[in-house]
Amino acid sequence: MITLKELAKRCGVSTATVSNAINGKSNISEATKVRIMQMIKETGYKPNFMARNLRINSKRTIGLIIEELTAFSSAPLIEGIMSFLEEQKYETILYNMRVYSNPNWVSDESFVQYCVSNAASELIAKQVSGIIHVAEHSRKIKCYNKKLIVPVVICYAYPDERKMPHVSIDDETSTSKMAEYILSKGHTKIAMICGSKDNLHAQKRYKSFKRVLSEHNVEFDEEFCVFTNWSKEDGKIAAAKILKKNVTAVFCHNDFLAGGVYDYLYENNIQPGKDLLVTGFDNHLISSYLHPGITTMKLPLLEIGQKSAELMIEMLKSDSQCSCNGVEFPCELIIR
């Protein structure tokens, strides 16, 4: 690759002049400008981005720490972040932690700490002026306790201390909507298949659901409720446990669990939707392939990503001050 210096030599001018021409500075004669542009075309010269950034001390790059790129939520979140940042003329650098390739990353908090700190170091070495941490699933992120020299926004999860900007979903409002929907269909014996007990979403959804039921004077039997994990298989096993009692509806904490319930129902010749109302959460693509259609909550992933980027820019413009500590978006009820 040809350099500015070489280009200048070929044009018979100084590097300063070439630089001015390229950057559209005003005081340049048309003739030399044309000559330079001509030569750029001929040689295919491209300014060295690194050198330029080094010189002008650019502050227009944001680092993204992605816990797991292949998580279904990651791509839309990143899409939201990048589209917003692109509009604001910011660059983006991705750091892929790939936590799934370490089997026990969930349990090993110190391992996660280590990875995050590595990731942050590398991004800071690359001169990012801020970091957005894109979580694989919602939980408290404890890795940013020691102050970094750049602002951090947590996307799709919660911080350890309350003072950190983060963007996530509003489980309370969303769960309420879902509960109201189920009640509106006249159900009074309602089961719930919850995510894992240590998960924040699961906890909030559990609480909110119970609250709404009691507000409507509908009894909630703890025997109709089970905490499990998030997979289809978990849903099926849970269904076998719970659905023996004569419930008429079941609220699953995500669509995979609901898919497992469908499995169980099919095997036992119970018709979902008719004999038992099943609802899910996430509006994952798989939910639109279940028969019969399942009602679920749509995660506003794109919006969460965009908002995270927005908070980041806000902090950058105001010396790491953020107007809010956290934003939570309600989900949209998708009735099927």
Q: Which residues bind DNA (CB under 7 A)?
A: 3-5, 12-17, 19-20, 22-23, 26-32, 45-48, 51-52, 54-57
Under rule CB under 8 A, residue 51 binds a second copy: yes
Q: Are 172 and 329 in contact (CB under 8 A)?
A: no
Ramachandran category for residue 237: left, alpha or beta (phi over 0 → left; psi -120 to 50 → alpha): alpha
Distance (Å) of CA 55 to CA 5, 58, 187: 15, 8, 67
Say if CB 77 and CB 303 are below 8 A apart. no
Q: Does 93 bind a second copy (CB under 8 A)?
A: yes
Cβ proximity to DNA, 20 vs 283, nearer residue = 20
Of 17-25, 75-83, 166-174, 317-325, which segment contacts a second copy by CB under 8 A? 75-83
In this complex, which beta carbon is closest to a second copy, that of residue 96 or of residue 248?
A: 96
Q: Which does 19 bind (CB under 5 to 8 A by kind): a second copy, DNA, none?
A: DNA
Structure token pair of residue 141: 């992120």
For DNA, which is the closer residue by CB, 20 or 254?
Answer: 20
Stretch 8-37 residues interacting with a second copy (CB under 8 A): none
Whole-number Å distance between alpha carbons of 49 and 60: 12
Chain-centroid distance, C-alpha 225 = 28
| Near a second copy by CB under 8 A: residue from 29, 94, 207, 223 | 94
Q: Is 96 in the site for a second copy (CB under 8 A)?
A: yes
CA 298 – CA 331 distance, rounded (Å): 5
CA 21 to chain centre: 42
Query: Per rule CB under 8 A, is residue 232 in the interface with a second copy?
Result: yes
CB of 63 to DNA, least distance (A): 17
Residues between 245 and 264 that touch a second copy (CB under 8 A): 259, 262-263
- Closer by beta carbon to DNA, 45 or else 84: 45
- Tell me the helices (H) and strands (E) count for the chain, helix number first: 11, 14
Using DSSP's 3-state secondary structure scheme, residue 225 falls into strand
Is the CA virtual torsion 126, 124, 137, 167 positive or negative? negative
Residues at the interface with a second copy (CB under 8 A):
1, 44, 46-51, 53-54, 69-70, 74-76, 78-79, 82-83, 92-94, 96, 98, 101, 121-122, 124-127, 149, 232, 259, 262-263, 266, 285-286, 288-292
